[in-house]
């Protein structure tokens, strides 16, 4: 068996990004939630908001630190494994990625320290501003990363000279056709992922009884939020789908396992797509629904993969199932959120231990949906790195052999299997300790300052955490 450096490089990228994406999926939403709770505290000065905010800041610091450490790996992947992609796209994509780094570094150094260590050193409004700026910083990072990713999906604003892309119009590059849809769909997805975690922890705190008041606040606030966000996300997903149909019809055909172009097409609920024979086995279909959902018209036309040469087909089975997992999880989340909100009537929400337990178990749902959605869009982009213009097979570093990549991949697998469970253990410990009024241990994060540093009483301006 020969080892293929392209497949292995893709696997390596999948491995390091899949783990890394869990952290922004959590910290982007959590930063905003912390800012929200800080705002409540600023407005009402009720100490419960302070305890809840401090509790989540402690957990945020660990997740953020791990995000920084695992994030360093990412820019190097472009060089080590995808040097031909890097060379071809650098003129267009490098400033977007560099701006992400600059903005993140700027906000990190300027405001994270205040958020983590400045509680006693700055007035409440300044602490709220710091929380708001950190939340904005995570959103800016998301903005630049998704602008880059979207440009790979729907390139615009460039000229192509001798196999390299050159910028023609920065606004067109950044706000490329799929970017707004991807940005909102992803951010809302991150918010929902965080919402389910906060809700789950809130449910556990209620059952645990030590911090039931804080738990009720967390559960109640996130349930209202999710009641809005989950349906909004479905609408955004629908819009994103229409955008995909327009700009990446082959991806849509793969998602739907549609081989032949047709009008009044059915919706395939389940099937085993057989790429070799270009057909579906064991298909369960609903007539007409495919056209209705995908085109918002019963007579709408949906392209089939046979319209494209085979070498341009994405692998069908992965996006087909990943998409169904995402939608399935989304429907499950909707059911949970609606059911839990209905239970508010008559005060059953906080009293039913079975319900609380179910909410606890729903914590990973958002992450599953994020990973499934990411898999759908990235595998559906294949066989291209820049859609329709640069093939994945032509993007990899020419010097790499299969065993080179296998060796590094094994290294990353081993490292992440140690680091991420360890980080999980540390964060779980913070959760179990609960939102104590005076934490026995000061906030610490591997990220910025002071793993070991206590709040420095001897220093007048300890927010210099950075």
Partner 1 sequence: MAESAVIDFVPVWTLILGAGVFLYVLLDGFDLGVGILFGLIPDAPSRNLAINSVAPVWDGNETWLILGAMGLFAAFPVAFAIIIPAVYFPVAVMLLALIFRGVAFEFRFRDAPHRTFWDYGFAYGSLLATFAQGIVLGAFIQGFRTEGYAFTGSSLDCFTPFSIVTGICLVFGYALLGAGWLVLKTEGALQAWARQHGRRAFLGVCAAVLLVSIWTPVMEPDIARRWFSWPNILLLAPVPIVTLVIAWATWEALGRTTSHWGPFTGAIGLFAMSYLGIAISLWPMIVPHRFTLWQAASAPATQAFLLVGALVLLPIILMYTGWSYWVFRGKVRADIGYH
Site for partner 1 in 405-464 (CB under 8 A): 407-408, 411-412, 415, 419, 422-423, 425-426, 429, 444-454, 456-459, 461-462, 464
Of 44, 125, 168, 344, the one binding partner 1 by CB under 8 A? 168
CB of 112 to partner 1, least distance (A): 10
195, containing H or E segment: helix 179-208
Token digits of residue 38: 């800080």
CB of 190 to partner 1, least distance (A): 21
- 333 vs 353: CA distance, rounded Å: 19
Residue with smaller CB distance to partner 1, 344 or 454:
454
CB of 441 to partner 1, least distance (A): 8
List the interface residues with partner 1, window 339-398 (CB under 8 A).
397-398
Establish whether the linkage from the previous residue to 389 is cis, with ω within 30° of 0: no
Of 282, 354, 399, 440, the one binding partner 1 by CB under 8 A? 399
Residue with smaller CB distance to partner 1, 66 or 156:
66
Q: Please give the distance of CA 42 from its chain centroid, rounded to a whole number.
A: 29
**Cα separation values, 395 from 5, 144, 305, 376, Å:** 11, 22, 24, 20
List the interface residues with partner 1, window 73-132 (CB under 8 A).
73, 75-76, 78-81, 83-84, 86-87, 90-92, 94-95, 97-99, 101-103, 105-106, 108-110, 113
**Cα separation values, 44 from 47, 48, 49, 50, Å:** 9, 10, 9, 11
Residue with smaller CB distance to partner 1, 315 or 464:
464
Residue with smaller CB distance to partner 1, 54 or 81:
81
Residue with smaller CB distance to partner 1, 72 or 438:
72
Which residues touch 88 (CB under 8 Å, ≥6 apart)? 163, 164, 165, 386, 390, 395
Residue with smaller CB distance to partner 1, 360 or 442:
442
CB of 206 to partner 1, least distance (A): 26
Residues that contact partner 1, how many (by CB under 8 A): 77
Which residues touch 266 (CB under 8 Å, ≥6 apart)? 285, 286, 287, 288, 289, 290
CB of 433 to partner 1, least distance (A): 11
CA distance between the termini of the chain: 50
CB of 353 to partner 1, least distance (A): 31
- 234 vs 213: CA distance, rounded Å: 32
Contact indicator for 301, 295 with CB cutoff of 8 Å: yes
Angle of the 124-153 helix axis to the 5-44 helix axis, nearest 10: 150
List the interface residues with partner 1, window 21-40 (CB under 8 A).
none
Residue with smaller CB distance to partner 1, 2 or 399:
399
CB of 310 to partner 1, least distance (A): 28
Residue with smaller CB distance to partner 1, 13 or 181:
13
CB of 68 to partner 1, least distance (A): 6
Residue with smaller CB distance to partner 1, 144 or 190:
144
Residue with smaller CB distance to partner 1, 55 or 321:
55
Q: Is residue 220 within the footprint of partner 1 (CB under 8 A)?
A: no
Which residues touch 335 (CB under 8 Å, ≥6 apart)? none
* Collapsed DSSP state (helix, strand, coil) of residue 210: coil
CB of 12 to partner 1, least distance (A): 9
CA atoms within 13 A on the CB side of 22: 20
- 431 vs 428: CA distance, rounded Å: 5
Q: Is residue 160 within the footprint of partner 1 (CB under 8 A)?
A: no
Which residues touch 94 (CB under 8 Å, ≥6 apart)? none
- 216 vs 30: CA distance, rounded Å: 18
CB of 83 to partner 1, least distance (A): 4
Closest to 299 in 3D by CA, of 342, 264, 260: 264
Build a one-symbol-per-residue string for 42-71: x at contacts with partner 1 by CB under 8 A, - elsewhere: --------------------x--xx-xxxx
């Amino acid at each position: 068996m020969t080892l293929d450096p392209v497949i292995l490089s893709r696997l390596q990228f999948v491995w390091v990004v899949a783990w890394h994406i869990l952290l922004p999926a959590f910290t982007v939403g959590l930063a905003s939630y912390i800012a929200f709770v800080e705002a409540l505290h600023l407005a009402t000065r009720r100490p419960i908001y302070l305890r809840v905010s401090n509790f989540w800041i402690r957990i945020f610091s660990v997740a953020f630190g791990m995000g920084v450490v695992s994030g360093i790996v990412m820019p190097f992947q472009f060089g080590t494994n995808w040097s031909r992609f890097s060379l071809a796209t650098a003129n267009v994509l490098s400033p977007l990625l560099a701006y992400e780094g600059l903005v993140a570094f700027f906000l990190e150094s300027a405001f994270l320290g205040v958020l983590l260590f400045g509680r006693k050193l700055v007035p409440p409004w300044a602490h709220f501003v710091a929380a708001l700026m950190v939340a904005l910083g995570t959103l800016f990072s998301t903005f630049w990363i998704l602008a880059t990713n979207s440009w790979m999906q729907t390139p615009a604003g460039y000229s192509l000279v001798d196999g390299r892309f050159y910028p023609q119009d920065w606004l067109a590059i950044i706000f490329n056709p799929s970017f707004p849809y991807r940005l909102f769909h992803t951010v809302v997805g991150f918010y929902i992922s965080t919402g389910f975690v906060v809700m789950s922890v809130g449910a556990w705190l209620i059952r645990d009884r030590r911090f039931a008041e804080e738990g009720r606040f967390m559960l109640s606030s996130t349930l209202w939020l999710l009641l809005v966000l989950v349906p909004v996300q479905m609408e955004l997903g629908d819009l994103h789908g229409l955008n995909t149909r327009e700009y990446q019809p082959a991806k849509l055909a793969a998602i739907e396992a549609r081989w032949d172009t047709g009008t009044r097409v059915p919706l395939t609920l389940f099937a085993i797509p057989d790429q070799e024979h270009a057909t579906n086995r064991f298909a369960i279909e609903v007539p007409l629904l495919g056209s209705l959902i995908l085109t918002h018209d019963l007579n709408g036309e949906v392209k089939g993969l046979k319209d494209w040469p085979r070498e341009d087909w994405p692998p069908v089975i992965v996006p087909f199932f990943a998409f169904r997992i995402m939608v399935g999880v989304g429907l499950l989340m909707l059911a949970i959120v609606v059911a839990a909100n209905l239970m508010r009537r008559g005060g059953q929400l906080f009293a039913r231990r079975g319900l609380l337990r179910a909410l606890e178990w729903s914590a990973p749902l958002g992450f599953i949906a994020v990973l499934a959605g990411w898999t759908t869009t990235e595998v559906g982009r294949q066989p291209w790195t820049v859609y329709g213009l640069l093939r994945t097979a032509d993007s990899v570093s020419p010097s790499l052999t299969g065993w080179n990549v296998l060796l590094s991949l094994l290294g990353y697998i081993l490292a992440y299997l140690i680091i991420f469970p360890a980080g999980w253990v540390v964060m779980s410990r913070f959760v179990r300790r609960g939102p104590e009024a005076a934490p026995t241990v000061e906030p610490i994060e591997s990220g910025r300052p002071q793993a070991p540093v206590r709040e420095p009483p001897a220093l007048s301006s300890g927010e210099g955490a950075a």
